[in-house]
Structure 1
Amino acid sequence: MSGEVFLFEEQHQQHPRVIIRNFLSLHECKELEFIHKSSSTVGYRPNVFSTTLSHLIATNSSHFIIPFIPIRDRLKDKVEEFFKCEFELFIEFTGLISWSRGASIGWHSDDNRPYLKQRHFASNSVMSGDVTSGVLSSILHFSYWIPVMLYTLAVADSLCIPFGYTMKAVCYLNNYGKDFNGGLFHFQDGEPTSIIPMAGDAVMYTSDHRNIHSVDEITDGERLTLTLWFSRDDSHNEDVKLVSLLSQNLLHKNMADSYLPLPASSNMYWFSQDQASNNQFGFNICWARLHVLGYAIYICQDSSCESDVSELLLKPVCLVRGNELLDQKFVNILHALQIVHFYCWKGSALQTNVSITDTKVVKLSDVQRKRINGLKSVLLNDDDLALRVFSSKPSEENERICFDWTGIVAAFTAWEDYVSKLTKQIRLQLPSWRMHESIYDVQLGEQYHP
């Protein structure tokens, strides 16, 4: 899947870094985007959202780990190959990170805290990116940029990184100028000075003082990345912890119970402009992501808007659009969010063999509308803020989708088929993972057959 590789040979001692174009396929980028937008929580910095593998397990979405596995393996292989540390690294962290309008970070290195010193390599897969020396047109005008094919090792041999140094790599999942504006990545020294995020590109670099970097403020849209951290210290191996969590979560559940999502604590989904102050003026990001796509939710069971928000998130819901309500129950708001974003991902590719008579759509009553507005006042009390944070240019794919409730019903069925297949895969592979305390793509001959 990977394409051209850029190795900056003349500066590799001072600024070790590698850029791989088209490391991820468009399908991989879109699948990870679907997972993130339907599963993420409020992140670690203002206007940042994250999806970690441990969070997926905790919210009964363990099956979404499956698409990460081959990508993690490929990233780890490439980091070890280019920086000459084969079979030495452990994955410390895997996560999807998105930056929305207002997010930025100034000059820093990624090991700038004592507790981060164990990090030896970080891998960021750029789902969409470009490299530049400051302007787009100058991308290939540096004589010391050396494009090579992926498996060329002659130059890579000279990139051996001493044991004590740390590294980082990133994969961009969407495109600068199309899906978001702002968010350019800059190195303080060395070449390239700037990277334009484009879907599928991967960037790998040492996370120490030799690669001090910054990210411009996002001015519109949402910038998505896949980020991996690597360590030589096996005590920081995230796989051991993840396998333990998976064992606890899956071993005593049947298939149906193991793939219906379960929302986390409501505070993990609450966004306010000032996160540090516990400001209650803001919005629930699950509701907001539905809202910017034109949907609302109606809680099927009688409940007061005064109820605890965590309880409201667990109740069965119906989807609403305009004056219409789809009379089909979703187990909770997270379930509805996953179906809607699955529809956004698959769109016109869904087999809509659903007749109008199978799709029960009813007009909202005044009582239902009042209850929806009451719930909205609790979960979305800053409409303008939600639109500023999550609104973006419509993608070409979504522009081609002509909304029809039959498409949502088809997405419901297709989503069930998709997640049940992933759940079967994870159950087949889990015994091997438990045996080796490692998450990897189990080959057919190794698979456990109950």
Structure 2
Amino acid sequence: MASTTASPPPAAGDHPRVLLRGLLSRETCKELEFVHRSCGAAGYRPSVVSTSLPHLAATGCGHLLLPFVPVRERLRDAVESFFDCLFDVFIEFTGLISWCKGASIGWHSDDNKPYLRQRAFTAVCYLNNHGEDYKGGILQFQDGDPSSIVPVAGDVVIYTADNRNVHCVTEVTEGERLTLTLWFTRDRAYNEDPKLLTFLSQTSLSCEPTKQKFYIPMPASDNMYWFPCDQSGFDIRCARVHVLGFSFHSSSGEYSTSVLPTEDDPVELLGKQLRLGRGDDVFDKIFSNSLHALQVVQFYYWKAPELAARREQSAVGSRTVRYPVIIHHSRGTELPLPCNHTLAQTIFGSVNTAEIAFKWNDFALGVAMWENYSEDLKKQLLTFLPFWLSNESIFVVDSSELQRAEPI
């Protein structure tokens, strides 16, 4: 567990806020970064990408809520303790948010709209490092101390959502600023858990664990992945794989205009089966859709050091890894997708891949590891969901509760 140090609490009634250093571990930050980079859609503001929990559930990724659960509990405990309001706080919103080049917001409080009056407290968790991963994006407060926060991965700042903590975020000038943001309320009617559980029960309980690959993601509508910028734009899924050196290719091994839908909209190809290519090579595996392929690519880069260390192994758990068949001379198989690659590189191109020596064998191992990871999380979700539904709350289920629930 990461060590935590807190700034001294402010005088009551001034500008109540606290900076908790190292509340989240590096691995937790990396896992949440993986979720966001593989699932995020266009955000609520220009130059912003967001991943909400309902969005995960709606795209067949409800199991990816599991990494959030212990973090939400720790943050709620921190809020209740610092603001002395035990058992009187509910989570109104949980979401991963990245501020990309050009993103900023002026002076405001987090409850400054009539439809936001229910917000009482805010927690912003930084998942990557200022200066190393991006430039700009400094959180500044109008009054009180600390007056500004230079983001460090694992640090969390908690403050009241009212006008005692008017703040702004300076413009991001380079890279992508990643945060996990939670808003808390004292009004039970705005608790996000019951609504989220209803959604999860509709989308997760309907799947059968025995069904092959029941954890495969399903993309949302294509317009949700369109990132507009300066009269141009790009599809976020295409951009994410492109900046990591990959491209989408026809699943048939050759491209033909016959694969285009009748509407002649190439973006619709992202919802169909496809392959991944890199340079002149095309990976043999057929992915169910672009979101499936993107998750595997992002998982590979999350686990790249571990994959390199296990390069000589030929099995992961009970699965045998088959070395990939590479289709050479990929020219003519790449899908004709509308993506401004130059713009995408400018917005998302801060990812440092120089230290990773890419090998297809590692990638094949990564595919199997991603399948194990996803299947395990999905099974956990189906185990925990009945407990959550009976309590109308999402929480870390104690092992003793699981044992009591097992049939004798």
TM-score by length of 1: 0.83
Any conservation in 1 of the 2:247–2:278 contact (CA below 8 Å)? Answer: yes
**Structure-2 residue corresponding to 1:297:** 248
Any conservation in 1 of the 2:124–2:181 contact (CA below 8 Å)? Answer: yes
One-letter amino acid of the counterpart of residue 268, structure 1 = M
User: CA RMSD for the aligned pairs?
Assistant: 1.8
Asked if 1:72 is matched to 2:80, the reply is no
How many residue pairs get matched? 388
Asked if 1:319 is matched to 2:270, the reply is no
Deviation at 1:206, TM superposition (A): 0.8
- What CA deviation, in whole Å up to 9, does each residue of 1:2-26 have, x standing for no partner? 41111243x4421001111000000
For 1:424-443, list aligned pairs within 5 A.
424-443=379-398
Deviation at 1:393, TM superposition (A): 5.3
Q: State the alpha-carbon separation in 2 of the partners of residues 310 and 72 from structure 1.
A: 36
* Sequence identity (%): 48
For 1:184-333, list aligned pairs within 5 A.
184-255=138-209, 256=212, 258-273=214-229, 281-300=232-251, 303-304=259-260, 307-308=264-265, 311-333=268-290
**Structure-2 residue corresponding to 1:95:** 95
SS state of the match for residue 302, structure 2? Answer: helix
One-letter amino acid of the counterpart of residue 360, structure 1 = V
For 1:376-387, list aligned pairs within 5 A.
376=337, 378=338, 380=339, 382-387=340-345
Q: 4+ runs of 1 displaced by more than 3 Å?
A: 305-311, 354-357
Deviation at 1:202, TM superposition (A): 0.6
Asked if 1:361 is matched to 2:326, the reply is yes
Asked if 1:110 is matched to 2:110, the reply is yes
One-letter amino acid of the counterpart of residue 345, structure 1 = W
TM-score by length of 2: 0.91
Deviation at 1:196, TM superposition (A): 0.2
CA distance 1:336–1:207, shift in 2 (3 Å):
same
Deviation at 1:366, TM superposition (A): 4.1
Deviation at 1:443, TM superposition (A): 0.7
Q: State the alpha-carbon separation in 2 of the partners of residues 38 and 365 from structure 1.
A: 24
One-letter amino acid of the counterpart of residue 375, structure 1 = P
Deviation at 1:193, TM superposition (A): 1.4
Q: State the alpha-carbon separation in 1 of the partners of residues 362 and 283 from structure 2.
A: 12
Deviation at 1:438, TM superposition (A): 0.6
Deviation at 1:199, TM superposition (A): 0.3
Deviation at 1:354, TM superposition (A): 4.6
Q: State the alpha-carbon separation in 1 of the partners of residues 203 and 384 from structure 2.
A: 14
Q: What residue ranges of structure 2 are gaps of 5+ in the alignment?
A: 253-257, 316-320
CA distance 1:253–1:21, shift in 2 (3 Å):
same
Any conservation in 1 of the 2:281–2:330 contact (CA below 8 Å)? Answer: no
**Structure-2 residue corresponding to 1:405:** 360
Deviation at 1:54, TM superposition (A): 0.4
Q: State the alpha-carbon separation in 1 of the partners of residues 29 and 226 from structure 2.
A: 26
Deviation at 1:415, TM superposition (A): 0.3
